[in-house]
């Protein structure tokens, strides 16, 4: 299901509040680069999701040129140059 930017930020805030870990991947459109991670998530400001664990820190600046989809605990962020897929993980 397509969702709005504000809903993406609300979801990230919910995950942060519950200390939910996420697994995810970021792919460039050319598939020349793929980053895979298992980390925590938070909202840095009203446009940026911060993904961090140990020395890993990824800032995703979100904006109107992106599409957002969420279903079955999977958030997909599509940018013209890359795609990011985040999956909510059980902390147990």
pLDDT at 64: 82
Rounded to an integer, what distance in angstroms lies between the CA atom of residue 86 and that of residue 70? 9
Q: Return phi, psi of residue 90, to 5°.
A: -75, 130
Residue 77 in tokens: 């962020």
Helix (H, G, I), strand (E, B) or coil at 13: helix
Rounded to an integer, what distance in angstroms lies between the CA atom of residue 90 and that of residue 12? 15
Q: How many domains does the chain have?
A: 1
Q: Which pTM value belongs to this model?
A: 0.87
pLDDT at 92 over 60: no
DSSP state of 90: -
Question: Which of these, 79, 72, 62, lies nearest to 9 by C-alpha position?
Answer: 62
Structure confidence by residue, pLDDT tens digits, 32-91: 888 999 999 999 887 888 898 888 899 999 988 899 999 999 999 999 999 999 999 876
pLDDT at 91: 61
Q: What's the CATH number where 28 sits?
A: 2.30.29
pLDDT at 25 over 90: yes
Structural domain range at position 12: 2-89
């Amino acid at each position: 299901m397509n969702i709005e930017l504000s809903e993406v930020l609300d979801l990230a805030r919910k995950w942060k509040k519950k200390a939910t870990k996420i697994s995810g991947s970021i792919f460039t459109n050319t598939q020349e680069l793929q980053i895979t991670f298992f980390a925590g998530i938070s909202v840095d400001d009203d446009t940026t999701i911060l993904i961090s664990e140990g020395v890993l820190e990824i800032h995703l600046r979100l904006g109107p040129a992106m599409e957002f989809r969420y279903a079955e605990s999977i958030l997909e962020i599509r940018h013209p140059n890359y795609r990011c897929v985040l999956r909510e993980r059980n902390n147990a």
